[in-house]
Structure 1
Amino acid sequence: MAIFHQQVVRLRPGTRTDRGGNTVPDWSPGAVDRLAVGRLSVQPAVQIERPGPDRTEVVTGWHVLSAPGTAPDVRSGDRVEYDSLTCEVVGEVARWANPVTGAVHHVEWQMTRATG
């Protein structure tokens, strides 16, 4: 389908142990797992400006849909590189089932980028 022509890079952190002995995400370049994900439609979803006393925060968001019959490996907690920006996956990733077969029909998620 013509609308599913976009691609992103999914970033997933490795893990490390902090000084308290807790396992925490490791976003250092050598620890991150990168995966190109294609056959997507990335649509604008939100843009908000929040003026503050010292700065204005800008939040931009997108809604991402995968092509029918695809199930990209993206989950909550991942980051996504899109259009030279690094975004965060917001909330849970929805995996929609095909009503006839029960297999994944397509996947949807929200991602945002905040600056300011």
Structure 2
Amino acid sequence: MLYEQSIIVVRAAVTTDDYGNEQDDWGVAASRTPVEGVNVQPQGGSSEDTDDRQLTVTGWRLYTPRGMDLNLRETDRVEAWGTTMQVVGKVARWPAPGGGVHHIEADLREVD
């Protein structure tokens, strides 16, 4: 049952505003790459912040199977099950004996 989930890796396009500053464009210009055969599991539970408004933050962990390197950056987002999650921190690429990548792991955060 592991590695049977599908996700979409969303990468922002870089645009320039009226003042010449680069900014991320998460709209229509963002690239969307479907990926099959991964595993996304809950990690760390959820936390709530009720100071200014109701906010729930849920942690997830993305794993790829052995031998699968995924073009995923810490600036990307991941879509799955109708929700969007941010990549948190660096993507861990575990080395394989003899070279290459054994698998990757990435922390994700869903904010509602």
TM-score higher than 0.5: yes
Aligned with residue 69 of structure 1, among 52, 67, 71:
67
Distance, in Å, in 1 between the alignment partners of 2:19 and 2:104 is 37
SS of alignment partner, residue 92 of structure 1: strand
* Mapping 1:1-116, distance limit 5 Å: 2-29=1-28, 31-45=29-43, 46-52=45-51, 54-98=52-96, 100-115=97-112
State the 4+ residue runs in structure 1 displaced beyond 3 angstroms: none
TM-score, length basis structure 1: 0.89
SS of alignment partner, residue 70 of structure 1: coil
Distance, in Å, in 2 between the alignment partners of 1:43 and 1:74 is 17
Distance, in Å, in 2 between the alignment partners of 1:56 and 1:25 is 26
Identity score, percent:
36
The size of the alignment, in residue pairs, is: 111
Distance, in Å, in 1 between the alignment partners of 2:36 and 2:94 is 18
Note the residue ranges of structure 1 that are not aligned, 5 or more in a row: none
How far off its partner does 1:102 sit? 1.6
Distance, in Å, in 2 between the alignment partners of 1:87 and 1:27 is 13
